[in-house]
Amino acid sequence: MGILCFLLFCLKMGITSLYNKIMDKIQKFQQALLNWYEGNARILPWRDDPSPYRVWISEIMLQQTRVEAVKPYFERFLQEVPAILDLAALPEDRLMKLWEGLGYYSRARNLKKAACMVMGQYHGRLPSDRKSLQTLPGIGPYTSGAIASIAFGAKEPAVDGNVLRVLARLSGNRGDLKDKTVRKDLNALAARLLFRQEPGNFNQAMMELGALLCIPNGRPKCGECPVQSFCEACHQDAVDQIPRKTRKAKRKMENRTVFVIRFQDRIALRKRQEQGLLSGLWEFPNRYGHLSPEEIGKVLTEWGICPETITPLPDAKHVFSHLEWHMKGYAVRVRGRKETCSFVWARQEEIHHSYSVPSAFHAYLKALGKV
């Protein structure tokens, strides 16, 4: 039985003498991890000034998004939206434009909803306790723990995917991380390991360990790990087996035909429905499937478009978490259009500066100057 598993066993059985002995090991673990973090933590813009607002914005942006991708978005967002009051008052179209390319746009909408709640219920100040934070849209157990500990110094663990993997390897837990019982046990372990004098730094150190060294897919850098001697998976030579890998469901493949339609100096856009994938964002007109030339002609007629030229554009692919779009594109020069045509017609510079077009269509955004 590993040291950390044994700690949980002692606590459950009420064996305080053994618990006291093992606490010395835990303190050594904490110190080794914090010493490593102090010398190896990445320089990140939200760490320079861990105010509640900045921590909150960074944590929401980092959900399911790589750190390097978030950095420029965070800086740009904070320059234009420096406080909760500004976020609550920000028009949704502008919010979506600032978020363009980050994906998972419901995160941005929840940010604004939460900012409005903070203005109305908490006098414009983000609450400091975990329970109150979780009443805000978009803030769950991990994010509330991160904000509470990093921004307010609350003695709360913050367990994200990286930390779950670290904890599973440290304790030798061979269970499925999607299993509720496994996650409950690992969260309890995180709470017991927490260094309560510096909860924010400790939580960040655990995350950093998972991001930089205790990485997934059986490739952890155990030789560089500051807490290798405490790791049960390492002792068992099982780091490539822990945590258990669950087979991902296959993505659905979907074919689409995308049209970049130009009439004089303007490009056709339309707004997606307010529910579902990429809800409320702007897109180039498109249809399901790879259309034949005859079908393309029928679709353009249906839209009230009289084409002058139709030119193929390079194929493009976009991968969502559960879906892949395989797109064939066409540049359409328009001779005329009916008044019943319902598209919004925008200049190229307006599209780049004012309309939030998701990254799924960025291959065709790049083609605008050539259409």
Instruction: Please give the positions annotated as active site.
Output: 59
How far apart (Å, rounded) are the C-alpha atoms in residues 136 and 129? 12
Cβ within 8 Å of residue 277, ≥6 positions away: 320, 323
29: Cα separation from own chain's centroid: 30
Question: Which string of b and e fits 177-196 if b means at least 16 CB within 10 Å?
Answer: beeeebbebbbebbeebbbe
154 SS3 class: coil
**Minimal CA–CA distance to 144: which of 162, 126, 161?**
126
Identify the DSSP state of 305: E
Give me the DSSP letters along 35-86: HHHHHH----HHHHS--HHHHHHHHHHHTTS-HHHHHHHHHHHHHH--SHHH
Cβ within 8 Å of residue 118, ≥6 positions away: 84, 88, 124, 125, 126, 127, 136
How far apart (Å, rounded) are the C-alpha atoms in residues 81 and 93? 14
Token pair recorded at residue 131: 């329970």
Long-range contacts of 302-305 (CB under 8 A, 24+ apart): 303/341, 303/342, 303/343, 304/337, 304/338, 304/339, 304/340, 304/341, 304/342, 305/261, 305/332, 305/334, 305/337, 305/338, 305/341
**Minimal CA–CA distance to 37: which of 242, 235, 211?**
211
How far apart (Å, rounded) are the C-alpha atoms in residues 133 and 143? 9
Strands (E), the chain: 252-263, 266-271, 282-283, 286-288, 305-319, 323-337, 344-346
